[in-house]
Structure 1
Amino acid sequence: MDVSECMRTKLVLAKPDCDYKRLLCKIADSVPRLAYVVDDNYKLLGIVSAVDLLKVILPSYMSVGLARSFSDGTEFLQKQVERVKDKRAEDIMVKKFSFLHPHHQLLKADAMIAEKGFNTLPVIDEKGKLLGEITRLDILVNLVNNCSDYNVDDAGLVDLSLL
Protein backbone atom coordinates (compact mmCIF):
# COMPACT_ATOMS: atom_id res chain seq x y z
CA MET A 1 0.00 0.00 0.00
CA ASP A 2 1.20 3.52 -0.82
CA VAL A 3 1.77 6.20 1.80
CA SER A 4 -0.79 8.38 -0.02
CA GLU A 5 -3.56 5.96 0.95
CA CYS A 6 -3.21 6.50 4.71
CA MET A 7 -1.34 9.79 5.19
CA ARG A 8 -2.90 12.65 7.12
CA THR A 9 -3.72 15.74 5.09
CA LYS A 10 -4.97 18.07 7.84
CA LEU A 11 -1.79 19.65 9.13
CA VAL A 12 -0.65 22.70 11.07
CA LEU A 13 1.01 25.14 8.68
CA ALA A 14 3.02 28.27 9.38
CA LYS A 15 4.70 30.92 7.31
CA PRO A 16 8.41 31.63 7.88
CA ASP A 17 7.60 34.90 9.67
CA CYS A 18 5.17 33.29 12.16
CA ASP A 19 6.20 34.40 15.66
CA TYR A 20 7.02 32.13 18.62
CA LYS A 21 3.79 32.63 20.55
CA ARG A 22 1.65 31.98 17.49
CA LEU A 23 3.64 28.80 16.76
CA LEU A 24 3.15 27.68 20.35
CA CYS A 25 -0.61 28.22 20.10
CA LYS A 26 -0.81 26.55 16.69
CA ILE A 27 0.67 23.25 17.85
CA ALA A 28 -0.94 23.22 21.31
CA ASP A 29 -3.97 21.24 20.14
CA SER A 30 -2.41 19.23 17.33
CA VAL A 31 -1.22 15.65 17.38
CA PRO A 32 1.54 15.19 16.49
CA ARG A 33 2.75 18.52 17.84
CA LEU A 34 4.36 19.81 14.65
CA ALA A 35 4.04 22.87 12.47
CA TYR A 36 5.15 22.69 8.86
CA VAL A 37 6.74 25.91 7.63
CA VAL A 38 5.74 26.50 4.01
CA ASP A 39 5.98 29.23 1.41
CA ASP A 40 3.02 30.63 -0.56
CA ASN A 41 3.09 27.60 -2.88
CA TYR A 42 3.10 25.15 0.07
CA LYS A 43 6.71 24.15 -0.57
CA LEU A 44 8.03 22.68 2.67
CA LEU A 45 10.80 24.89 4.05
CA GLY A 46 11.16 23.42 7.52
CA ILE A 47 9.51 21.77 10.50
CA VAL A 48 8.97 23.10 14.03
CA SER A 49 8.20 20.58 16.77
CA ALA A 50 7.20 21.05 20.39
CA VAL A 51 10.73 19.98 21.31
CA ASP A 52 12.16 22.73 19.10
CA LEU A 53 9.96 25.31 20.84
CA LEU A 54 11.04 24.11 24.28
CA LYS A 55 14.72 24.22 23.31
CA VAL A 56 14.33 27.91 22.51
CA ILE A 57 12.98 28.83 25.96
CA LEU A 58 14.98 26.52 28.20
CA PRO A 59 18.48 27.79 28.95
CA SER A 60 21.28 25.35 28.15
CA TYR A 61 22.37 25.41 31.80
CA MET A 62 18.95 24.23 33.06
CA SER A 63 19.13 20.95 34.95
CA VAL A 64 16.58 18.98 36.94
CA GLY A 65 18.21 20.12 40.18
CA LEU A 66 18.11 23.78 39.18
CA ALA A 67 14.50 23.47 37.98
CA ARG A 68 13.55 22.06 41.38
CA SER A 69 14.85 25.20 43.05
CA PHE A 70 12.25 27.40 41.34
CA SER A 71 9.22 27.99 43.53
CA ASP A 72 7.09 28.84 40.49
CA GLY A 73 8.36 27.16 37.33
CA THR A 74 5.33 28.34 35.37
CA GLU A 75 6.25 31.98 35.98
CA PHE A 76 9.82 31.27 34.83
CA LEU A 77 8.59 29.62 31.63
CA GLN A 78 6.20 32.49 30.90
CA LYS A 79 9.08 34.97 31.27
CA GLN A 80 11.17 32.85 28.92
CA VAL A 81 8.36 32.88 26.34
CA GLU A 82 8.16 36.66 26.59
CA ARG A 83 11.91 36.85 26.10
CA VAL A 84 11.76 34.94 22.79
CA LYS A 85 8.35 36.11 21.57
CA ASP A 86 9.88 37.82 18.52
CA LYS A 87 11.67 34.70 17.28
CA ARG A 88 10.15 33.50 14.05
CA ALA A 89 9.50 30.09 12.55
CA GLU A 90 12.41 30.51 10.15
CA ASP A 91 14.72 31.04 13.17
CA ILE A 92 13.54 27.90 14.94
CA MET A 93 12.64 25.42 12.20
CA VAL A 94 14.64 22.36 11.31
CA LYS A 95 15.70 22.86 7.69
CA LYS A 96 17.21 19.45 7.05
CA PHE A 97 14.49 16.84 7.36
CA SER A 98 13.67 13.40 6.08
CA PHE A 99 10.57 13.00 3.96
CA LEU A 100 8.56 10.54 1.93
CA HIS A 101 6.83 10.72 -1.43
CA PRO A 102 3.19 9.65 -1.81
CA HIS A 103 4.11 6.60 -3.93
CA HIS A 104 6.42 5.13 -1.27
CA GLN A 105 5.23 1.93 0.34
CA LEU A 106 4.14 1.74 4.00
CA LEU A 107 6.98 -0.67 4.74
CA LYS A 108 9.51 1.94 3.56
CA ALA A 109 7.70 4.60 5.62
CA ASP A 110 7.85 2.48 8.76
CA ALA A 111 11.51 1.61 8.16
CA MET A 112 12.43 5.28 7.64
CA ILE A 113 10.51 6.36 10.73
CA ALA A 114 12.31 3.73 12.81
CA GLU A 115 15.71 4.49 11.26
CA LYS A 116 15.47 8.27 11.65
CA GLY A 117 14.01 8.10 15.17
CA PHE A 118 10.96 10.22 14.38
CA ASN A 119 7.32 9.30 14.84
CA THR A 120 6.19 11.46 11.93
CA LEU A 121 7.50 12.20 8.46
CA PRO A 122 6.22 14.75 5.95
CA VAL A 123 5.01 13.59 2.55
CA ILE A 124 6.01 15.87 -0.34
CA ASP A 125 5.79 15.77 -4.12
CA GLU A 126 8.75 15.95 -6.52
CA LYS A 127 8.78 19.77 -6.33
CA GLY A 128 8.82 19.84 -2.52
CA LYS A 129 5.14 20.73 -2.08
CA LEU A 130 3.75 19.45 1.21
CA LEU A 131 0.97 16.91 0.66
CA GLY A 132 0.58 15.35 4.10
CA GLU A 133 2.31 13.43 6.85
CA ILE A 134 2.55 9.82 7.92
CA THR A 135 2.95 8.61 11.49
CA ARG A 136 3.64 5.24 13.03
CA LEU A 137 0.12 5.39 14.40
CA ASP A 138 -1.28 5.82 10.86
CA ILE A 139 0.63 2.72 9.79
CA LEU A 140 -0.57 0.78 12.83
CA VAL A 141 -4.19 1.82 12.24
CA ASN A 142 -3.88 0.63 8.66
CA LEU A 143 -2.66 -2.77 9.89
CA VAL A 144 -5.47 -2.97 12.45
CA ASN A 145 -8.05 -2.16 9.78
CA ASN A 146 -6.80 -5.22 7.92
CA CYS A 147 -7.48 -7.49 10.93
CA SER A 148 -11.09 -8.16 9.98
CA ASP A 149 -10.75 -11.91 10.57
CA TYR A 150 -10.37 -11.37 14.35
CA ASN A 151 -13.18 -10.80 16.82
CA VAL A 152 -12.80 -7.26 18.17
CA ASP A 153 -14.02 -8.38 21.62
CA ASP A 154 -10.95 -10.60 21.94
CA ALA A 155 -8.57 -7.64 21.58
CA GLY A 156 -10.56 -4.95 23.39
CA LEU A 157 -9.85 -2.94 26.49
CA VAL A 158 -10.23 -4.48 29.92
CA ASP A 159 -11.59 -2.25 32.66
CA LEU A 160 -9.38 -3.22 35.60
CA SER A 161 -11.55 -1.29 38.04
CA LEU A 162 -14.23 -3.99 37.57
CA LEU A 163 -11.93 -6.82 38.65
Structure 2
Amino acid sequence: MVRNRTVGEVMSSEVVQARPGTSFKELARLLTAHRISGLPVVDDDDKVMGVVSQTDLTRRQAAPGGAGHGPRRLVDALRRIVGGRPAAAARTAGELMSSPAVTVHPEQRVVDAARIMERRRIDRLPVVDEEDRLIGITTRRDLLRVFLRADEEIRTDVAHALSVGFPGASAISVEVSDGVVTLLGSPPPGADTAAWIRSAWRVDGVIGVMNRLTAGRAGDRTVSPR
Protein backbone atom coordinates (compact mmCIF):
# COMPACT_ATOMS: atom_id res chain seq x y z
CA MET A 1 0.00 0.00 0.00
CA VAL A 2 1.37 3.38 -0.98
CA ARG A 3 1.62 5.95 1.77
CA ASN A 4 3.88 8.79 2.72
CA ARG A 5 5.71 8.57 6.00
CA THR A 6 4.99 11.38 8.44
CA VAL A 7 7.35 13.18 10.78
CA GLY A 8 5.48 11.70 13.73
CA GLU A 9 6.46 8.20 12.61
CA VAL A 10 10.21 8.88 12.52
CA MET A 11 10.72 11.49 15.25
CA SER A 12 12.24 10.82 18.65
CA SER A 13 10.02 11.73 21.59
CA GLU A 14 13.01 11.86 23.97
CA VAL A 15 14.29 15.40 23.49
CA VAL A 16 17.33 17.01 25.10
CA GLN A 17 16.18 20.56 25.75
CA ALA A 18 17.10 23.75 27.56
CA ARG A 19 15.36 26.65 29.26
CA PRO A 20 16.08 30.31 28.50
CA GLY A 21 18.14 30.56 31.69
CA THR A 22 20.29 27.48 31.02
CA SER A 23 23.93 28.54 31.31
CA PHE A 24 26.46 28.54 28.52
CA LYS A 25 28.54 25.85 30.23
CA GLU A 26 25.52 23.60 30.83
CA LEU A 27 24.54 23.92 27.17
CA ALA A 28 28.02 22.80 26.14
CA ARG A 29 27.81 19.86 28.55
CA LEU A 30 24.43 18.76 27.15
CA LEU A 31 25.64 18.90 23.56
CA THR A 32 28.80 16.90 24.24
CA ALA A 33 27.23 14.40 26.65
CA HIS A 34 24.43 13.53 24.23
CA ARG A 35 26.56 13.89 21.07
CA ILE A 36 24.10 16.21 19.39
CA SER A 37 24.61 19.30 17.25
CA GLY A 38 21.79 21.39 18.69
CA LEU A 39 18.83 21.49 21.05
CA PRO A 40 15.56 23.40 21.39
CA VAL A 41 14.97 26.06 24.03
CA VAL A 42 11.49 25.94 25.59
CA ASP A 43 9.54 28.15 27.98
CA ASP A 44 7.60 27.06 31.06
CA ASP A 45 4.72 25.84 28.86
CA ASP A 46 7.10 23.71 26.73
CA LYS A 47 6.62 26.04 23.77
CA VAL A 48 9.67 26.26 21.54
CA MET A 49 11.35 29.66 21.75
CA GLY A 50 14.45 28.94 19.69
CA VAL A 51 17.31 26.54 19.02
CA VAL A 52 20.92 26.56 20.26
CA SER A 53 23.52 24.85 18.08
CA GLN A 54 27.19 23.96 18.49
CA THR A 55 28.12 26.85 16.24
CA ASP A 56 26.11 29.29 18.37
CA LEU A 57 28.26 28.37 21.37
CA THR A 58 31.64 28.21 19.66
CA ARG A 59 31.00 31.46 17.79
CA ARG A 60 30.56 33.28 21.10
CA GLN A 61 33.47 31.52 22.76
CA ALA A 62 36.05 31.78 19.99
CA ALA A 63 38.38 34.75 19.78
CA PRO A 64 38.54 36.68 16.48
CA GLY A 65 40.57 34.78 13.92
CA GLY A 66 40.29 31.56 15.89
CA ALA A 67 40.18 28.01 14.56
CA GLY A 68 37.74 26.95 11.88
CA HIS A 69 34.33 25.39 12.27
CA GLY A 70 34.81 21.76 11.20
CA PRO A 71 32.79 19.14 13.12
CA ARG A 72 35.83 17.85 15.06
CA ARG A 73 36.96 21.36 15.98
CA LEU A 74 33.46 22.25 17.15
CA VAL A 75 33.35 19.23 19.46
CA ASP A 76 36.86 19.93 20.78
CA ALA A 77 35.89 23.55 21.47
CA LEU A 78 32.80 22.45 23.39
CA ARG A 79 34.84 20.06 25.51
CA ARG A 80 37.25 22.85 26.38
CA ILE A 81 34.30 25.01 27.43
CA VAL A 82 32.94 22.27 29.70
CA GLY A 83 36.32 21.80 31.36
CA GLY A 84 37.30 25.44 31.59
CA ARG A 85 35.93 28.89 32.10
CA PRO A 86 33.61 30.37 29.44
CA ALA A 87 34.40 33.74 27.93
CA ALA A 88 32.76 36.77 29.47
CA ALA A 89 30.58 37.23 26.38
CA ALA A 90 28.96 33.81 26.95
CA ARG A 91 25.65 34.00 28.78
CA THR A 92 22.46 31.89 28.62
CA ALA A 93 20.42 29.88 26.15
CA GLY A 94 17.93 32.72 25.84
CA GLU A 95 20.68 35.04 24.59
CA LEU A 96 22.50 32.50 22.44
CA MET A 97 19.59 30.82 20.68
CA SER A 98 18.47 31.36 17.10
CA SER A 99 14.88 32.54 17.16
CA PRO A 100 12.19 31.98 16.04
CA ALA A 101 12.83 28.28 15.69
CA VAL A 102 11.98 26.41 12.50
CA THR A 103 9.55 23.66 13.55
CA VAL A 104 7.36 20.98 12.00
CA HIS A 105 4.16 19.21 12.99
CA PRO A 106 3.94 15.41 13.36
CA GLU A 107 1.44 15.01 10.51
CA GLN A 108 3.73 16.69 7.97
CA ARG A 109 5.35 14.45 5.37
CA VAL A 110 8.94 13.35 5.85
CA VAL A 111 9.81 14.57 2.37
CA ASP A 112 8.56 18.07 3.25
CA ALA A 113 10.63 18.10 6.44
CA ALA A 114 13.68 17.03 4.43
CA ARG A 115 13.16 19.91 2.02
CA ILE A 116 12.86 22.37 4.92
CA MET A 117 16.16 21.12 6.35
CA GLU A 118 17.87 21.44 2.98
CA ARG A 119 16.45 24.89 2.29
CA ARG A 120 17.27 26.25 5.76
CA ARG A 121 20.58 24.34 6.03
CA ILE A 122 19.77 22.81 9.40
CA ASP A 123 20.24 19.30 10.78
CA ARG A 124 17.30 18.96 13.15
CA LEU A 125 13.74 20.16 13.54
CA PRO A 126 11.74 20.41 16.77
CA VAL A 127 8.34 18.74 16.37
CA VAL A 128 5.44 20.64 17.95
CA ASP A 129 1.75 20.03 18.53
CA GLU A 130 -1.14 22.28 17.49
CA GLU A 131 -0.33 24.61 20.40
CA ASP A 132 3.37 24.77 19.46
CA ARG A 133 4.43 22.68 22.44
CA LEU A 134 7.50 20.50 21.99
CA ILE A 135 6.65 16.81 21.53
CA GLY A 136 9.70 15.46 19.71
CA ILE A 137 12.71 16.06 17.52
CA THR A 138 13.60 14.82 14.05
CA THR A 139 17.04 14.84 12.48
CA ARG A 140 18.55 14.35 9.04
CA ARG A 141 19.47 10.82 10.11
CA ASP A 142 15.83 10.06 10.98
CA LEU A 143 14.67 11.32 7.59
CA LEU A 144 17.38 9.50 5.67
CA ARG A 145 16.04 6.17 6.91
CA VAL A 146 12.95 6.77 4.78
CA PHE A 147 15.05 7.42 1.69
CA LEU A 148 17.11 4.24 2.12
CA ARG A 149 14.32 1.94 0.97
CA ALA A 150 15.06 -1.01 -1.33
CA ASP A 151 14.62 -0.28 -5.04
CA GLU A 152 12.17 -3.16 -5.47
CA GLU A 153 10.00 -1.81 -2.66
CA ILE A 154 9.96 1.62 -4.28
CA ARG A 155 9.17 0.10 -7.68
CA THR A 156 6.20 -1.79 -6.25
CA ASP A 157 4.80 1.36 -4.63
CA VAL A 158 5.25 3.50 -7.75
CA ALA A 159 3.60 0.88 -9.97
CA HIS A 160 0.71 0.60 -7.52
CA ALA A 161 0.25 4.39 -7.32
CA LEU A 162 0.12 4.66 -11.11
CA SER A 163 -2.21 1.71 -11.64
CA VAL A 164 -4.68 2.91 -9.01
CA GLY A 165 -4.62 6.61 -9.87
CA PHE A 166 -4.26 6.41 -13.64
CA PRO A 167 -5.79 3.35 -15.34
CA GLY A 168 -3.98 4.11 -18.60
CA ALA A 169 -0.64 3.94 -16.82
CA SER A 170 -0.90 0.24 -16.00
CA ALA A 171 0.69 -0.68 -19.34
CA ILE A 172 3.93 1.24 -18.79
CA SER A 173 7.05 -0.17 -17.15
CA VAL A 174 8.62 1.11 -13.96
CA GLU A 175 12.30 0.62 -13.21
CA VAL A 176 14.18 1.83 -10.13
CA SER A 177 17.92 2.12 -9.59
CA ASP A 178 19.37 3.69 -6.42
CA GLY A 179 16.09 5.48 -5.77
CA VAL A 180 15.80 6.92 -9.29
CA VAL A 181 12.56 5.90 -11.01
CA THR A 182 12.43 5.43 -14.78
CA LEU A 183 9.06 5.37 -16.55
CA LEU A 184 9.09 3.54 -19.91
CA GLY A 185 6.43 2.74 -22.49
CA SER A 186 3.79 4.37 -24.69
CA PRO A 187 1.08 6.34 -22.85
CA PRO A 188 -2.44 6.25 -24.34
CA PRO A 189 -3.61 9.35 -26.26
CA GLY A 190 -4.44 12.26 -23.97
CA ALA A 191 -2.69 10.78 -20.94
CA ASP A 192 -1.56 13.32 -18.36
CA THR A 193 1.99 12.03 -18.05
CA ALA A 194 3.00 15.04 -15.94
CA ALA A 195 0.55 13.80 -13.30
CA TRP A 196 2.09 10.33 -13.53
CA ILE A 197 5.51 11.81 -12.81
CA ARG A 198 4.22 13.84 -9.87
CA SER A 199 2.63 10.68 -8.48
CA ALA A 200 5.95 8.83 -8.72
CA TRP A 201 7.72 11.66 -6.90
CA ARG A 202 5.30 11.38 -3.99
CA VAL A 203 6.38 7.82 -3.16
CA ASP A 204 8.71 7.56 -0.16
CA GLY A 205 12.33 6.96 -1.12
CA VAL A 206 12.18 8.40 -4.64
CA ILE A 207 15.08 10.77 -5.27
CA GLY A 208 14.63 11.24 -9.03
CA VAL A 209 12.29 10.43 -11.92
CA MET A 210 13.40 9.75 -15.50
CA ASN A 211 10.80 10.22 -18.25
CA ARG A 212 11.37 7.72 -21.07
CA LEU A 213 7.77 7.63 -22.24
CA THR A 214 7.78 7.43 -26.02
CA ALA A 215 4.82 9.76 -26.45
CA GLY A 216 6.79 12.56 -24.79
CA ARG A 217 9.56 14.65 -26.21
CA ALA A 218 12.50 12.95 -27.82
CA GLY A 219 15.34 11.88 -25.55
CA ASP A 220 15.62 11.01 -21.90
CA ARG A 221 15.14 13.66 -19.29
CA THR A 222 15.18 13.82 -15.53
CA VAL A 223 12.08 15.56 -14.21
CA SER A 224 11.99 17.88 -11.22
CA PRO A 225 9.32 17.27 -8.55
CA ARG A 226 8.03 20.77 -9.17
Q: State the TM-score bracket (shorter-chain normalisation).
A: 0.7 to 0.9
| Contact 1:6 1:134 (8 Å CA) reproduced | yes
Q: 2:48 touches 2:101 (CA, 8 Å); kept in 1?
A: no
What is the CA deviation profile of residues 67-126 of structure 1, one whole-angstrom value per residue up to 9, with x for unaligned ones? xxxxxx98xx65984333861111101112221111100111111111111121111112
Farther-moved stretch of structure 1 (81-90 vs 105-114): 81-90
1:15–1:89: 8 Å Cα contact kept in structure 2?
yes
Aligned pairs for 1:1-163 within 5 A: 1-59=5-63, 61-63=64-66, 81-84=85-88, 87-144=91-148, 146-147=149-150
Q: Match of 1:133, SS?
A: strand
Counting aligned pairs with the same residue, the percent is: 25
1:63 shift after superposition: 4.6
Q: 1:20 touches 1:84 (CA, 8 Å); kept in 2?
A: no
Please identify, of 95-104 and 29-38, the stretch whose mean Cα deviation from structure 2 is larger.
29-38
The structure with higher relative contact order (CA 8 Å, sep 6+) is 1
* Shift in Å, 1:140: 1.4
Q: Which runs of 5+ in 2 are unaligned?
A: 69-75, 154-226
Contact 1:21 1:85 in 2 (8 A): no
> Rg: which structure is higher?
2
Q: 1:122 to 1:97 in 2, by over 3 A?
A: same
The DSSP-based 3-state class of the residue aligned with 2:60 is helix
- Size of the aligned set, in residue pairs, is 139
Q: Structure 1 residues 136, 64: closer, same or farther in 2, change over 3 A?
A: closer
What is the rounded CA distance, in whole Å, between the counterparts of 1:39 and 1:99 in structure 2? 15
Is contact 1:16-1:89 (8 Å) kept? Answer: yes
Paired residue secondary structure (2:131): coil
In structure 1, give the amino acid aligned to 2:147.
L
Q: Distance in 1 between matches of 2:67 and 2:14?
A: 36
Q: 1:4 and 1:64, CA in 2 relative to 1: closer, same or farther beyond 3 A? A: closer
1:131 match: secondary structure:
strand
Report the Cα distance in structure 2 between the residues aligned to 1:148 and 1:107, rounded to whole angstroms: 17
Backbone CA RMSD of aligned residues: 2.8
**Normalising to structure 2: TM-score of the pair?**
0.54
